[in-house]
Protein backbone atom coordinates (compact mmCIF):
# COMPACT_ATOMS: atom_id res chain seq x y z
CA UNK A 1 0.00 0.00 0.00
CA UNK A 2 2.79 2.33 0.95
CA UNK A 3 4.60 1.63 -2.30
CA UNK A 4 1.40 2.20 -4.25
CA UNK A 5 0.86 5.57 -2.60
CA UNK A 6 4.49 6.51 -3.15
CA UNK A 7 4.35 5.47 -6.79
CA UNK A 8 1.06 7.35 -7.25
CA UNK A 9 2.68 10.46 -5.79
CA UNK A 10 5.65 10.00 -8.05
CA UNK A 11 3.37 9.71 -11.06
CA UNK A 12 1.52 12.86 -10.04
CA UNK A 13 4.79 14.71 -9.73
CA UNK A 14 6.01 13.48 -13.07
CA UNK A 15 2.74 14.45 -14.64
CA UNK A 16 2.97 17.91 -13.15
CA UNK A 17 6.52 18.27 -14.34
CA UNK A 18 5.59 17.21 -17.84
CA UNK A 19 2.74 19.67 -17.90
CA UNK A 20 5.05 22.48 -16.87
CA UNK A 21 7.77 21.51 -19.33
CA UNK A 22 5.33 21.42 -22.20
CA UNK A 23 3.86 24.71 -21.09
CA UNK A 24 7.30 26.35 -20.99
CA UNK A 25 8.21 24.85 -24.32
CA UNK A 26 4.94 25.95 -25.87
CA UNK A 27 5.53 29.50 -24.73
CA UNK A 28 9.10 29.40 -25.97
CA UNK A 29 8.25 28.34 -29.51
CA UNK A 30 4.91 30.09 -29.95
CA UNK A 31 6.50 32.81 -32.08
CA UNK A 32 8.57 30.51 -34.27
CA UNK A 33 5.89 29.82 -36.89
CA UNK A 34 6.52 26.10 -36.67
CA UNK A 35 4.42 23.78 -38.75
CA UNK A 36 3.76 20.95 -36.39
CA UNK A 37 1.58 18.01 -37.26
CA UNK A 38 0.65 17.47 -33.65
CA UNK A 39 0.78 19.33 -30.38
CA UNK A 40 3.86 19.26 -28.23
CA UNK A 41 4.02 16.08 -26.22
CA UNK A 42 6.41 13.83 -24.37
CA UNK A 43 7.88 12.48 -27.60
CA UNK A 44 8.57 15.84 -29.21
CA UNK A 45 12.19 16.16 -30.26
CA UNK A 46 13.85 19.51 -29.52
CA UNK A 47 16.24 19.43 -32.47
CA UNK A 48 14.51 17.41 -35.18
CA UNK A 49 10.98 18.66 -34.55
CA UNK A 50 11.54 22.16 -33.20
CA UNK A 51 14.81 23.08 -34.86
CA UNK A 52 16.56 23.96 -31.60
CA UNK A 53 19.95 25.62 -31.84
CA UNK A 54 22.44 26.33 -29.09
CA UNK A 55 20.97 29.60 -27.90
CA UNK A 56 17.49 28.06 -27.88
CA UNK A 57 18.65 25.39 -25.47
CA UNK A 58 20.16 28.06 -23.23
CA UNK A 59 16.93 30.00 -23.20
CA UNK A 60 14.88 26.85 -22.60
CA UNK A 61 17.02 25.85 -19.63
CA UNK A 62 16.82 29.33 -18.12
CA UNK A 63 13.05 29.32 -18.57
CA UNK A 64 12.77 25.91 -16.91
CA UNK A 65 14.85 27.04 -13.96
CA UNK A 66 12.71 30.12 -13.58
CA UNK A 67 9.46 28.18 -13.89
CA UNK A 68 10.47 25.59 -11.32
CA UNK A 69 12.10 28.18 -9.12
CA UNK A 70 15.29 26.16 -8.90
CA UNK A 71 18.77 27.40 -9.71
CA UNK A 72 21.77 25.30 -10.52
CA UNK A 73 20.18 22.38 -12.30
CA UNK A 74 22.91 20.14 -13.74
CA UNK A 75 21.74 20.26 -17.33
CA UNK A 76 25.05 18.91 -18.59
CA UNK A 77 23.88 15.51 -17.36
CA UNK A 78 20.97 15.78 -19.75
CA UNK A 79 22.99 16.79 -22.74
CA UNK A 80 26.03 14.55 -22.44
CA UNK A 81 26.47 10.79 -22.53
CA UNK A 82 29.78 9.04 -21.91
CA UNK A 83 31.67 12.25 -22.46
CA UNK A 84 30.03 13.05 -25.77
CA UNK A 85 27.12 15.24 -26.75
CA UNK A 86 23.72 13.70 -27.37
CA UNK A 87 22.28 14.02 -30.84
CA UNK A 88 18.69 14.59 -29.76
CA UNK A 89 16.66 15.42 -26.70
CA UNK A 90 13.03 14.50 -26.25
CA UNK A 91 10.59 16.24 -23.97
CA UNK A 92 10.33 13.06 -21.91
CA UNK A 93 14.11 13.16 -21.42
CA UNK A 94 13.76 16.66 -20.00
CA UNK A 95 10.91 15.54 -17.77
CA UNK A 96 12.92 12.59 -16.48
CA UNK A 97 15.90 14.81 -15.83
CA UNK A 98 13.82 17.29 -13.88
CA UNK A 99 12.15 14.54 -11.92
CA UNK A 100 15.58 13.31 -10.88
CA UNK A 101 16.98 16.71 -10.04
CA UNK A 102 14.22 18.85 -8.58
Partner 1 sequence: MKKTLMIGLDGATFSLLKPFMKDGTMPFLRRLVDEGVHADLMSTRNPLTPPAWISMVTGRSPHVHGVYDFLRPSYLDDGSVFLSINDSRNISCETIWAMVNRHGRRATSLNFYGMCPAFQVDGYLASGFVPWKHLRRGMYPPSFFDMVRSMEAFDYRSLGMDISEEKKCLQGLVEDEQEDWIRLQKKRDTAWTDLCCHLMRTDRTELTAVVLDGPDKLQHLFWRYVDANYLPEEPDERFIHIRDLCLEFYAQLDRNIKSMVETAGPDTNVILTSDHGFGATTEVVYINEWLSRRGLLTWANDAEDGGAGNLTANKMKDHLGMIDWKSTTAFCPTPSSNAIYVKKGNATTNGVKDGEYLEFCLNLKRELLDYRDPASGEQVIVDVDLNKLEGTPYVEPSPDISIRLRDGGFVSILKSDEIVVPRENPEGTHRPNGIFVAHGPDVKTGVQVEPLNLLDITPLLLHFLGLPAPENLEGRVPSEILRSEAAYAPRIEQPNVTKLPVRSRRKREDASPEEKEALISMLKVLKYID
Q: Least distance from C-beta 23 to partner 1, angstroms?
A: 14
36 neighbors 51 (Cβ within 8 angstroms): no
Q: Which residues contact 93 (CB under 8 A, 6 or more apart)?
A: 78
**100 part of the interface to partner 1, by CB under 8 A:** no
**75 part of the interface to partner 1, by CB under 8 A:** yes
20 neighbors 94 (Cβ within 8 angstroms): no
| CA distances from residue 8 to 21, 22, 39, 86, 91 in whole angstroms, order as listed | 20, 21, 26, 31, 21
User: According to CB under 8 A, which one of 20, 42, 45, 65 is a site residue for partner 1?
Assistant: 65
In the complex with partner 1, the residue whose CB is nearer, 4 or 74, is 74
Tell which positions 11-40 bind partner 1, by CB under 8 A: 27-32
Which residues is 90 bridged to in the sheet? 45
Query: Stretches 1-9, 16-24, 36-44, 79-87: which one binds partner 1 (CB under 8 A)?
Result: 79-87
In the complex with partner 1, the residue whose CB is nearer, 56 or 93, is 56
In the complex with partner 1, the residue whose CB is nearer, 39 or 76, is 76
Amino acid sequence: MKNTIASMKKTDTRSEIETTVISVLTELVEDWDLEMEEELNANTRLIADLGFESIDVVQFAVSLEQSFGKDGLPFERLFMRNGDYVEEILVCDVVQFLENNL
